[in-house]
Structures are given as structure tokens and as C-alpha cells.
Amino acid sequence: MRPAPHPPATLTPRQWLKQLAQVEKKRLLGAAVCGVLAGASTTGLLVGLAWLVDQILVHARPLSELSGVFLILLALVGLRAALQWGQEALAFEASLRIRQRVRVSLLDKLATLGPQWLTHHQSGALATQLVEHVDALEGYFARFHPQLRIVLILPLLIAAVVGTLDYVVVIFLLLSAPLIPLFMALVGMGAERMNREQFSAVSRLSAHFVDRVRGMSTLQLFGRTAKARRDVWYATDEYRRLSMKTLRLAFLSSAVLEFFASVAIAVVAMYVGFGLLGYLDFGPASSLSLFSGLAVLLLAPEFFQPLRTLSQHYHDRATALGAAESLVFILNEPDWIVHEHSSPEHYQALCELKGVSIGYPQRGAILSHVDLTIARGDILALTGASGSGKSSLLALLAGFMAPQKGVRSRRSGQIAWLDQSPCLIQGSLAENLRLANPEASEGMLHQALARAGLGELLASLPYGLETPLGERGVGLSGGQAQRLALARVYLSDAPLVLLDEPTSNLDAATEALVIEALNAWARDGRTLVIATHHPQVLTIATRHLHCEGGRVLEVTP
């Protein structure tokens, strides 16, 4: 699948939607053409109807003579239905393809933002953006966009037909027409702003909720569920308030159109009625017949119909713009993961840092002037108080973030990663292991589990490797989850293993396993960088770095 067009530095939601429409322009155009032709069939049907009425009632022609016209009208009815179906099917297909492309490009973007960026954002809100907000684009492309084009053509077509029947009516229609977009624009602008607010409210609401549900146990333990529940009600009621504001305006735009369509029927009926009575002696009124009178009466509401449909779909546009705004925000974020092209100069070096500063956009540098060369086979222990920058240095070595200053050069390739809270994905035990090596055979999985001390667990699982695991290691205890992370490292051939506090929060048995694993990897010639306080781990290390006061110091034994 080809990714969606890559956005320039700062992309506005409108530009982005326009670019997306461009990708599927053929189908969207096809849908609009179908819509216009369906409208034309309706026009033909109504004019034919008026002609038949005139012929039968005024000119008293027998029905049998006119059966051919009846058949033509039936054919028009069939054609109109088919065209309507075509419009909807084509536009939906376009919308589906666009949404799929958008999701791919967003996933790709999240990949270039990387894990370090993601820890600074709520994953629940991001998931909402990638699933619900992308789906919120559906109506815009499936309904609003084709209708926007239909509105430009169809009313003119109907006006032309009305014009051949009676030019006074067409003047009335054309004079009232420009007022409508004006009203709608006024109403629409308000609705759009409201909709943006509503969208961020929905997003906040879901983030608020995920957070409360995750901590439900804690809320229960502190007896705070009632308050959290009230908070949920307030959040929802705030959402209702915002929604009503949007709707009050959104409905106003459809009321304006309803008004024009109703008034058009009323005015045309009056004009035609008085004209037929002979009360009007200006313009074409005197030449009105039941045919032309009835035809213009029936066509007058049809003239407004495309606009009415557009206004029904107006909220699709507002919804899409709201969604686009939240999505464009992600697309406009500068990348955090920068793939450098330079490898370390020395062939034995895996990674080199020269005069590097590490920090976050709002917080300034955490570590600065870091000069470090990691050679193959090094076993590097990283110590320092919590918050001293150990984790950030690991993230920099892993490539999850770029240095603020200085030069980092790394050998490309896989890295093994192990932190305090290993992430379990939804899926089987096998899938959770294959995360480190998708090609691993079942035999390799068994072996890795055995080496990580999970052989006994595996034997006790009812479905073996196919046993499903839950989120955040629930189902597995903390120690078991950490062993699973060890198994992942065993499965990968990555020469560099980065470990963030691998022994914290573990029982003695698991801790021993971790230390044994570290020794095994060292024997295999892997390079280890371990952020740790554990005395036994420190004895394995061949080098020892200490983070303090924004600097990294090498401790010589």
C-alpha cells in the first residue's frame, strides 16, 4: 500500500484533507457525476409527470395513448435508483481507501517519533486518534465531498430547465440561491469551531477514562470510586453541553435551508396560481399552463434539494476537520528518531558519542558533554540516582531520541531491549516471544523459555505456546514477565543489549536468572549496557559509568 502524501513542515487540516481527496479523485469525481445524473433523472421524471397531468386533465387525452410516456418515466425511475446506488458505493470505496492510507501513514509517523516521544503522550488518546478519529473522516469523503460538487452543478441544471419553462421563477430561484451559501457560511464557521472543541473534549474524555479504569483498584482501595464516577458524569455532561452548542448552530443551517425550500414552494405556488388565474400581466405569467406551472412548482424544491443534502452532511465536514486537526498535530511533530548515516570510525566500536547533550524540548539538557565509546564485548554498568539521566542515556543509545548537541554514530542493526516493565502485547505467548524474532521456530521458543526459567510455567499452561496473555503482564506476575523479556533477548541475535534496571522488583530466583543471563550473554560476546544498582551486576561489569550532576563519569576500579 502506498503511504498517504507526506506532509510538509506545517500542514493545516484543510490542506491535508484536500491532499487526501486528491489521492482518490477519480472515484470521488465518479460519485459526483452519478449524483448529478441522478438529479437530472429526477428533473426529467418531474417534468414528464407535469406534462402527463396537463395532457390528461387539460387536453383530455386518453391514457392508452400516453402509455409510452409512462414507460419512459418508469425507466427514469430505475435509472435514478441505479445512479444513486453508484454514487454511494463509489464514494464509500474512496473513503475506505483514504482511511486505510491515513492509518498507515500515522503508524509510520509514530514509528519515527519513537518510544521516548510516546512515553510523553497518553497511549489511550493516541489509540483513539488512530482508530476513532481516522474513522471520523469517513463521512467527509463518503458523503460531503461528492455532494459539494453536486451542489455546484445540479441546481444550475435545474435552473436551466425551469428557465425554459418560466424565467420569472428562475430569477426568483437564482436571487435566493446566493443567500444560502452566505447563511451557511456564517452558521458553518461557528459550528466548526464548536466541533473542534467537542473533538478535543471527546479525546480528553477517553484519556480521562482509561486513566481511571487502569487505576480502578486504587480508587476502590482509597474509597474514591464515587468521586471518580461523579467526575465521569461531569466530563460527560461537559461533552453534552459542547455538543448542544454545536448542534444548535448546525441545525440552524439546516433550518435556513428548510425555510428556503418551503418558501420556494409557497412563493412559486402563489405566482403560478395567480398567473393561471390571469391576475398577473407581467412577463411570462400570461403564457403559464398547468404543465409549466406544475413543473416549476415541483422543480422549485428540487433546486434546493442538493443544498439541503449538503447541509445534512455538513457535520461530516466539521467532524472530519476536528479529527484532521488532531491527526495533523501528530503529523506535524518533528521526528525524534533520526537515523544517522555515520558508523563509528573504529571497527571495534559499536557506538560513539562525541560531545553529546541529552534532553527534552521543555526541560533542557539532562546530561551534557558526554563522550563515550562502546566497544564490542564491553559490559558497561550505568549507575546514578533516580532521575540522573541513566534511562535517557539508554534511550539515546537505543536510538529512541537524537542528541540535542554533539555527534552520535552507531552500527545499524537490531538491539535487544529490556526494561523494568516489559510490555506484553495482546496475543499468544508465542507471539509475545516472536516480537524479538518473528522467524523463530517453535523449538527456539521452547529453548529460550527454558533458558529464561519459564520451562515449568510453559509445561503448566493448558495451551502451551498458544496461551493468550493480557495487558501489562496481568496473568503473569512481575517476575514471570521479566523472565519473558529475558527469553526475548535469548531469541534475538542482537550484538548490543540495553537493560534498564533489569533486577529491580524481582524475587531471588528470578534475580539469579537475570544475573545468569547477563553472564551467558557476556560469554556469547554480546555487548551489554546495564543501568543498575545491584552489587552483583556491578561485579560482572567490565566498565562502570556514573551519572551525576548532568555529567557521565567513568569510574575506574
Partner 1 sequence: MKELVCAFRPWIFLLTRRRRVFLIGAALALTTIVAGLALLGLSGWFITACAFAGIALAAGLPSTLDIYVPGGGIRFFALLRTVARYVERLYNHNAVLTLLADLRFKVFGYLTHLDPATLSRRRAGDWLTRLTADIDILDNFYLRLLMPPLVALLAIGLLSLFIALWLPGLAVIVGISLGALWAVLTLGFAWLGFRQSYQQVRDQSALRNRVLDQIQASAELESYQTRRWHQTHIEALEARAGANQRRLAAKSALGNALILLVTGVLLIGALWLVSQAALVGDITSPVAIMLLLVVLGAGELFTALPSAFIKLGASYASVQRLNQLTPKAVSDEQLCAVFPEGAPGVSVTLNDAGYTYPAMLAPALSGISLEVPAGARVAITGVSGAGKSTLAHLILGRLAPSSGSVMVGVQAPYALSNDERANGFAFLSQQVDLFDATLADNLRLANESADDEALWQALERVALADWVRREPQGLQTPVGEKGRKLSGGQARRVALARLFLRNPSVVLLDEPFAGVDSDTARHLAASLDQWLEGRTAIYFVHQIDDVSLLPGLTYSHSLRHGQLDLSSV
Residues 188-247 that bind partner 1 (CB under 8 A): 202, 205-207, 209-226, 228-229, 232-233, 236-237, 239-240, 243-244, 247
11 or 435: CB nearest partner 1: 435
DSSP secondary structure, 215-281, as one string: THHHHHHTT-HHHHHHHHHHHHHHHHHHHHHHHHHHHHHHHHHHHHHHHHHHHHHHHHHHHHHT---
Contact set for partner 1, span 128-157 (CB under 8 A): 128, 130-132, 135, 142
Contact status: 252 vs partner 1 (CB under 8 A): yes
For partner 1, the binding residue among 127, 160, 182, 189 (CB under 8 A) is: 127
Euclidean distance between CA atoms 293 and 166, whole angstroms:
8
Contact status: 168 vs partner 1 (CB under 8 A): no
Contact status: 251 vs partner 1 (CB under 8 A): yes
All cell numbers assigned to 371: 563522550
All cell numbers assigned to 77: 425511475
Contact set for partner 1, span 297-326 (CB under 8 A): 297-298, 301
Contact status: 160 vs partner 1 (CB under 8 A): no
12 or 103: CB nearest partner 1: 103
DSSP secondary structure, 442-484, as one string: HHHHHHHHHHTT-HHHHHH-TTGGG-EE-GGGTTS-HHHHHHH
Stretch that binds partner 1, among 53-61, 441-449, 517-525, 548-556 (CB under 8 A): 53-61
Residue 497 CB, nearest approach to partner 1 (Å): 10
DSSP secondary structure, 159-198, as one string: HHHHHHH-HHHHHHHHHHTTHHHHHHHHHHHHHHHHHHHH
Euclidean distance between CA atoms 331 and 327, whole angstroms:
6
Tell me if 134 sits within 8 A of 101, measured CB to CB. Answer: no
Residue 474 CB, nearest approach to partner 1 (Å): 4
Alpha-helix residue ranges (DSSP H) falling in 283-332: 290-312, 314-332
Stretch that binds partner 1, among 3-11, 251-259, 515-523, 542-550 (CB under 8 A): 251-259
Euclidean distance between CA atoms 196 and 184, whole angstroms:
18
For partner 1, the binding residue among 5, 21, 44, 49 (CB under 8 A) is: 49
Euclidean distance between CA atoms 401 and 335, whole angstroms:
9
Residue 235 CB, nearest approach to partner 1 (Å): 8
Residue 502 CB, nearest approach to partner 1 (Å): 12
Euclidean distance between CA atoms 313 and 315, whole angstroms:
5
Contact status: 538 vs partner 1 (CB under 8 A): no
For partner 1, the binding residue among 11, 94, 98, 126 (CB under 8 A) is: 126
Contact set for partner 1, span 398-427 (CB under 8 A): 398-400, 413-417, 419-423, 425-427
For partner 1, the binding residue among 438, 443, 525, 557 (CB under 8 A) is: 438
185 or 266: CB nearest partner 1: 266
Euclidean distance between CA atoms 188 and 252, whole angstroms:
9
Contact status: 57 vs partner 1 (CB under 8 A): yes
Contact status: 472 vs partner 1 (CB under 8 A): yes
Tell me the site size for partner 1, rule CB under 8 A: 159
Express the helix, strand and coil content of the chain in percent, nearest 5 each: 65, 10, 20
Contact set for partner 1, span 58-117 (CB under 8 A): 58, 60, 63, 70, 73-74, 76-78, 80-82, 84-85, 88-89, 92-93, 96, 100, 103-104, 107, 110-111, 114-115
Max Cα distance, the chain (Å): 116
- What is the C-alpha radius of gyration for the chain, rounded to an integer number of angstroms? 34
